[in-house]
Structure 1
Amino acid sequence: MKRQFSLAHLTVLGCTPAEMTYIAARAGYDFVSLRPIYMGLPDEPNYALAENKEMLRQTKKALDYTGIKLHDIELARIYDGLDPKKYLPAMEVAAELGACCVLSSIWTSERNFAIERYAELCDLAKPFGMTVDLEFVTWANVTNLKDAMDVLRSANRENCGIMIDTLHFNRSRVALEELDQVPREWFHFAHLCDAPQEIPTTKEDLIHTGRDERLYVGEGGIDIAAILKRMPQIPYSIELPHLANVKELGCAEHAWRCLQTAKDYLDAHLGA
């Protein structure tokens, strides 16, 4: 089966959804992974499509013109005091644009609250035919595969999922054998990137690598092939922010290099 790739918005966050769709098409991606849930982070552009009808119109036009599909949206964070219905407008737009997955992560220490809100997210997404895929993030509250699986088992929803990011898998020191315990139907897509072999020891340095300086696949110290060999073949969303490379090369060239290096690496290590 032909491998499929998506361009994650964080890779070219300075581009609007329409702009990144055209870039993805020219580079040869199959999908885009959009960020229409505004999180209010420092210097983060607001791409809340449900609130910006002109941006939504332009995004639809780009998807229709290029034939690129929307794969997933992010980020439906679970945090203290969250009402998951807050994400309904973004889900509605995502469904309208053809998305199949909603990415989530957990930023509260209250386990029962997190499980209840994750289950509610799944219930909200189900009528749209979308899964809710939980990502463990090294500097969040659910930081490893074991705890993420505990949330999914406790929530017990048909449309739940686990999203493996190769950076967080490596930084959280997850054992490869743990992937063998994940039900195959929980895998819907994965995030690909590489990073230096040495794992940072501070939260600040972990965040810096994750948001500003990930490496092209095959250029760092993560055994990406070993991770992917223990998972079914699923779409690979390349989430590879590198601010210096974008500044030097431009978004289009950076996105192309992200895809080409990933394809070359996977062909060499997993077979063409």
Structure 2
Amino acid sequence: MNRTIGLAHLSALHLSPPELVDAAAAAGYTSVGIRVHPATRGEAPYPMTAGSFMSAQTLERLAATGLAVRDVEVFTLDGHRGRNEWEPVLEAGAALGASVLNVIGGDPDRARLTDSLAALVDDARKYGIRPSIEPISYQPLDSIPAAGLLVGQTGCGIMLDALHFVRAGGLIAELIALPAGAVTVIQLCDGPAETPALPVPHRMPLGQDVNGSARQIESRAKRLAPGEGVFPLREILAALPGTPVSVEVPDVWAVEAAGTDAHLKHLHTAAGTLIGSPLKTEMETTS
């Protein structure tokens, strides 16, 4: 598979966007995803509104390194936030040249979520951005089939996070059944068969909240590099040929032990090895 490798901000969320661009370029990535809006309550935001000093700094670093911004994150549709809240996020993404906005389906009212997402998709068109719903295993919208229905109803895309796909019991057949082009980004990571029992980190980047939840601790603080766990990553890649890849592996303990640069280089090497290793068929593995 001939794919470039992007870096999701969550892999090094303690780095500001301009710092992330430089670190990603040094580690060999070709694109980045950037957090322009908080994902959790109480999370400290980066000042990334369109026209801000940090946005301008980020654009300078992108120009100097040749990297691109593929996606920005993250906007949660919770049933209360609407156009007044998402418009600045779209503006921030457009200023960076992003084509995808990561959206979380946090509204348990599916009809209202569908209406809100349709309005967001419509508003995003003028910015050249496709809002892409990310099924998350501990959110109301947690499955690929549910996300696939929203693609047909609203024109949104899907952000496929390998961790949440596995933790929600996703099937490769569900990916194959999606409309062509529905998945806009694959977020690569790995993990054990079951959610591990992890301690709550003594410090989370930007003060993210994990709520004492094992799944949230794993998701935000301790994932494995591609190829180091048991997730069906080669099968996912084979089911979605040509879909851009972004490595999303937060590991607060690895960063503390080895440093950010070593962590990001390790993730890039691991992802490159995975992508360069073709999926073997049943016949090949038994011959």
Q: TM-score w.r.t. structure 2 length?
A: 0.88
Match among 259, 278, 284 for residue 269 of structure 1? 278
Q: After TM superposition, list the pairs within 5 Å mapping 1:144-223 onto structure 2.
A: 144-155=143-154, 157=155, 160-199=156-195, 204-223=213-232
Aligned partner of 1:232 among 232, 236, 241:
241
Q: How many percent identity over aligned positions?
A: 28
Answer yes or no: is the 8 Å Cα contact 2:105–2:135 preserved in 1. Answer: yes
1:16-165 alignment to 2 at 5 Å?
Answer: 16-42=16-42, 44-50=43-49, 53-155=52-154, 157=155, 160-165=156-161
The one-letter amino acid of 2:259's match is G
SS in 2 for 1:237: strand
| Unmatched segments (≥5 aa) in structure 2 | 199-211, 281-287
TM-superposed CA distance for 1:2, in Å, is 3.3
Aligned pair in 2 of structure 1 residues 267, 9: CA closer, same or farther (>3 Å)? same
Contact 1:14 1:45 in 2 (8 A): no
CA distance in 1, matches of 2:250, 2:127: 30
More off after superposition, 109-118 vs 260-269: 260-269
Which secondary structure state, in structure 2, belongs to the residue aligned with residue 76 of structure 1? strand
Letter in 1 for 2:8: A
Contact 1:135–1:163 at 8 Å: present in 2 too?
Answer: yes
The answer to whether the 8 Å contact 2:35/2:73 transfers is: yes
Q: Is the 2:5–2:271 contact (alpha carbons within 8 Å) kept by the matching residues of 1?
A: no
Please state how far the C-alpha of 1:153 moved relative to its aligned partner.
2.2
CA deviations on 1:82-137 (whole Å, 9 max, x unpaired) are 11331212211221221111111111111111001111110111011111111100
Q: Which moved more, 1:94-103 or 1:237-246?
A: 94-103
Indicate if the aligned counterparts of 2:39 and 2:75 stay in contact, CA closer than 8 A.
no
Deviation, 1:40, is 4.9
Gaps spanning 5+ residues in structure 1: where?
A: none
Supply the AA of the counterpart residue of 1:261: A
CA distance in structure 1 between the aligned counterparts of 2:105 and 2:99, rounded to whole angstroms? 20
CA distance in 1, matches of 2:50, 2:97: 18
Report the residue type matching 2:25 in the other structure. A
Is the CA contact 1:38–1:48 (under 8 Å) kept in the aligned structure 2? no
Query: Take 1:91 and 1:141, find their aligned partners in 2: how far apart are those partners?
Result: 23
CA contact under 8 A between 1:194 and 1:220: conserved in structure 2? yes
Q: Check 1:255–1:201 CA distance in 2 against 1; reply closer, same or farther (3 A cut).
A: closer
Name the CA distance, whole Å, in 2 between partners of 1:88 and 1:2. Answer: 35
Take 2:128 and 2:50, find their aligned partners in 1: how far apart are those partners? 22
CA distance in 1, matches of 2:34, 2:3: 20
- Using the alignment, how far apart are the partners of 1:97 and 1:67 within structure 2? 13
The answer (yes or no) to whether the contact 2:135–2:147 under 8 Å persists in 1 is yes
Amino acid paired to 1:70? V
Q: Over aligned residue pairs, what C-alpha RMSD do you find?
A: 2.0
In 2, Cα distance between equivalents of 1:257 and 1:41: 30
Query: What residue is the counterpart of 2:201 in the other structure?
Result: none
CA–CA separation in structure 1 for the residues paired with 2:161 and 2:71: 14
**Contact (CA 8 Å) 2:3, 2:275: kept in 1 or not?**
no
